[in-house]
Structures are given as structure tokens and as C-alpha cells.
Amino acid sequence: MHRQALTEAQWARLLPILPRQVSGPKATRGDRLFIEAVLCRAKTGLPWRDLPERFGPWKGVYTRFSNWAIGTR
């Protein structure tokens, strides 16, 4: 388990409050990994381009975050 990874208990608490995807393609890596990527960036302050590879292409994570942040998810 990675340091930024959510525990099962943390994920269970977050899941009910996450907004549901209403449009666009389904995320290939899932919501949990996306949330962990955002938390990793928030905790470390690293640039989007420097996200660890386990989160997938940085541009996809950034785009999803950007859409999510402005409510167009």
C-alpha cells in the first residue's frame, strides 16, 4: 500500500458523497485512484506532470480534476 493510498474505511466514507458521473467516457482507472492522485498532489505539492505513473497519464488526471472542480464532470 502506498502512503497516499486510502484505507478501506476512508474510501467507504468518501464513496457516498462523491458526485456521480453524468456524461463523458467512463474513467478507465476508477474513482478511487483519481481521488488518491488528487490527494497525493495536495499532500506533496508536486506539479501535475510529476504524478507517479501508477495514477496513469498526468494529463488525463488533470483534465478530470479540472472538469470536476468546475462542476462539468
What is the extent of the structural domain holding 66? 27-73
Residue 34 lies in a domain: yes
Q: What is the SS3 string spanning 21-52?
A: CCCCCCCCCCHHHHHHHHHHHHHHCCCHHHCC
Neighbours of 73 (CB within 10 A): 17
Residue 13 lies in a domain: no
pLDDT value at position 4?
63
User: Does the structure show a pLDDT above 70 at 65?
Assistant: yes
Q: DSSP class of residue 23?
A: S
Question: For the chain, what is the domain count?
Answer: 1
pLDDT digits (tens, 9 = 90+) for 18-63: 877 666 667 777 889 999 999 999 999 999 999 999 999 999 999 9
Neighbours of 38 (CB within 10 A): 19
Rounded to whole angstroms, how far apart are CA atoms 63 and 73? 10
User: Does the structure show a pLDDT above 70 at 1?
Assistant: no
pLDDT value at position 2?
67
Set of cell numbers at residue 14 = 468518501
Residue 50 lies in a domain: yes
Residue 8 lies in a domain: no
Residue 6 lies in a domain: no
pLDDT value at position 70?
83
